[in-house]
């Protein structure tokens, strides 16, 4: 089996250094360690030789030698004469794991919240409906009919007529993306992705051998001209897009932007894979009036609750060949591992057949619970969106205080996180400093395809664990460490799940 390698030029891109950056050996070692912990460099990957990395970076051979030696000392690199240096994980480390409950660390990496109030009721109602399914095998590779019907109706309500036969229910949106990738994409094929974008999607597509081309997203919209230029320069067959409250920026693409990018993709015979996991999290701009009508008529209806933006048509209304991914996780609860694919009729049999060598279907009880939630969608979401809106506004207010001078958070109309511009290229240093204060963050470069992001940080509206005020105090202390240039010993801890 071929050993995976990371070239010196690729490692430099991941390190996101410019000509003014001359890292010391400890900073270089810490940054490589973070790349390993958050999955950007996999365990077992061969690193470039000391000579190759010295040539690629604005550092001395001594700096690289000492950085590799430091990584060996803490268990992140093993070296054998003639075989080079290979990435390892020290005993007890689990990259991108959930933070164990009861630990002192505060995880601020998951853009999600506790279960919506209606989830318990939905499970109770689903249990009452379950006996009707028990006489059968329970293998529902396409999904139970009642849920497929509810999902199709939701698309129709948004202005996109949909046949239930176009829906394939999956075990979450990531399972949906994995199913699409292994069914219709081939190793070596090219896919355009927004940069920044959802990091787990980057990992999933790369794991299946897809070659990614980053297209700039400025926090407001995708650069359609750059997309067109990329499609002219190389045979790109796919595009992974998040037009509805883009993760991480929260941007909402309007109908004009959707139509423009869809036209570019059609001319290039490229198929969009559209991630709609955040589509229900329509909050309105901070300071917008609340108390507006719920569920005003489709198309263009916002999510329930006051101040929600008018929603554009689903992307597939502009590109009939689009493959759309949806999920209940962000809307209702991450523990509901139910997602779906809306695809052209001709593709559905291939997707269903591919599940026969995979998970064979999604648990029936969870599907019935999601069907119940979709039936009561407006009431369930109204409370959830109100909580998210208040948390967003509170975080924006806190980041306006003096400990965070120079920070420029965006003001998203939806989604579950803020995208922050830092006053210095310090995202990775901030994440490393935060570890010293038992605060776990996700570095900005994690959201980019090929480097970049050192001036960016994603903060979900609240930490997954701990109190918001405590997390903010730890964040302020870490930022002061960065500003003062304080050097601290490395902490040996796994980076938690980013979602």
Sequence-distant (≥ 6) Cβ neighbours of residue 96 within 8 angstroms: 37, 38, 39, 494, 495, 496, 497, 498
Indicate the range of 238-252, 361-375, 425-439 predicted with least confidence: 425-439
Indicate the range of 26-30, 215-219, 313-317, 459-463 predicted with least confidence: 26-30
CATH of domain 8-87: 1.10.10.10
Q: Assess whether pLDDT exceeds 50 at residue 170.
A: yes
Indicate the range of 14-23, 34-43, 149-158, 239-248 predicted with least confidence: 14-23
Sequence-distant (≥ 6) Cβ neighbours of residue 467 within 8 angstroms: none
Query: Mean pLDDT of all residues in the chain?
Result: 88
Per the structure block, which two tokens stand in for 419? Answer: 């995208």
For the chain, what percent of residues have pLDDT higher than 90? 67
Question: Is the backbone peptide bond immediately before 11 cis, with ω within 30 degrees of 0?
Answer: no
Cβ count within 10 A of residue 407? 17
Indicate the range of 98-112, 280-294, 347-361, 459-473 predicted with least confidence: 280-294
Query: For residues 487 and 356, which has the higher predicted lDDT (pLDDT)?
Result: 356
For the chain, what percent of residues have pLDDT higher than 70? 89
Query: For residues 213 and 492, which has the higher predicted lDDT (pLDDT)?
Result: 213
Question: What's the N-to-C CA distance of the chain in angstroms?
Answer: 31
How much is the pLDDT for 139? 93
Sequence-distant (≥ 6) Cβ neighbours of residue 175 within 8 angstroms: 337, 339, 359
The answer regarding whether domain 117-284+313-379 maps to CATH 2.60.40.1480 reads no
pLDDT class for 91, splitting at 50, 70, 90? low
Q: Do domains 8-87 and 117-284+313-379 have the same CATH topology?
A: no
Extents of the domains making up the chain: 8-87, 117-284+313-379
- Give per-residue pLDDT as tens, 374-389: 999 999 999 899 999 9
How much is the pLDDT for 371? 98
Q: Cα separation of 193 and 203, whole Å?
A: 12
Q: Assess whether pLDDT exceeds 80 at residue 131.
A: yes
How much is the pLDDT for 92? 53
Q: Assess whether pLDDT exceeds 70 at residue 62.
A: yes
């Amino acid at each position: 089996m071929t050993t995976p390698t990371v070239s010196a030029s690729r490692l430099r891109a991941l390190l996101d250094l410019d000509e003014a950056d001359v890292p010391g050996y400890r900073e270089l070692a810490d940054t490589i360690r973070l790349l390993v912990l958050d999955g950007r460099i996999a365990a077992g990957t061969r690193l470039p030789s000391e000579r190759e990395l010295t040539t690629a970076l604005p550092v001395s051979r001594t700096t690289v030698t000492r950085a590799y030696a430091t990584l060996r000392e803490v268990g992140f690199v093993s070296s054998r004469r003639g075989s080079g240096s290979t990435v390892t994980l020290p005993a007890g480390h689990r990259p991108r794991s959930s933070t164990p409950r009861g630990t002192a660390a505060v995880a601020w990496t998951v853009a999600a919240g506790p279960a919506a109030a209606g989830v318990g009721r939905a499970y109770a109602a689903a249990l009452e409906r379950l006996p009707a399914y028990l006489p059968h095998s329970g293998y529902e590779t396409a999904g139970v009919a009642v849920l497929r019907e509810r999902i199709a109706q939701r698309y129709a309500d948004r202005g996109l007529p949909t046949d239930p036969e176009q829906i394939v229910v999956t075990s979450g949106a990531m399972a949906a993306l994995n199913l699409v990738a292994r069914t219709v994409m081939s190793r070596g094929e090219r896919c355009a992705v927004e940069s920044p974008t959802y990091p787990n999607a980057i990992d999933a597509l790369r794991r299946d051998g897809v070659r990614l081309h980053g297209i700039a997203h400025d926090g407001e919209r995708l650069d359609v001209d750059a997309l067109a230029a990329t499609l002219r320069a190389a045979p790109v067959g796919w595009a992974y897009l998040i037009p509805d409250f883009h993760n991480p920026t929260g941007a909402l693409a309007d109908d004009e932007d959707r139509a423009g990018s869809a036209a570019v993709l059609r001319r290039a015979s490229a198929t969009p894979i559209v991630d709609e996991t955040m589509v229900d999290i329509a909050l309105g701009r901070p300071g917008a009036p609340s108390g507006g009508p719920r569920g005003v008529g489709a198309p263009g209806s916002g999510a329930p609750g006051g101040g929600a933006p008018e929603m554009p048509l689903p992307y597939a209304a502009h590109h009939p060949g689009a493959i759309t991914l949806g999920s209940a996780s962000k809307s209702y609860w991450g523990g509901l591992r139910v997602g779906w694919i809306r695809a052209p009729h001709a593709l559905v049999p291939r997707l269903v057949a591919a599940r026969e060598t995979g998970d064979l279907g999604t648990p029936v009880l969870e599907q019935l619970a999601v069907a119940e939630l979709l039936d009561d969608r407006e009431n369930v979401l109204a409370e959830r969106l109100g909580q998210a809106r208040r948390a967003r506004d509170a975080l924006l207010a806190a980041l306006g205080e003096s400990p965070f001078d120079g920070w420029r958070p965006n003001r998203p109309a939806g989604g579950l996180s803020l995208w922050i511009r830092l006053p210095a290229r310090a995202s990775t240093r901030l994440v490393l400093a935060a570890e010293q204060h038992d605060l776990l963050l996700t570095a900005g470069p994690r959201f980019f395809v090929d480097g970049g992001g050192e001036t960016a940080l994603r903060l979900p509206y609240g930490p997954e664990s701990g109190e918001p005020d405590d997390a903010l105090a730890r964040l302020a202390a870490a930022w002061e460490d960065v500003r003062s240039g304080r050097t601290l010993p490395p902490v040996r801890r796994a980076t938690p799940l980013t979602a």
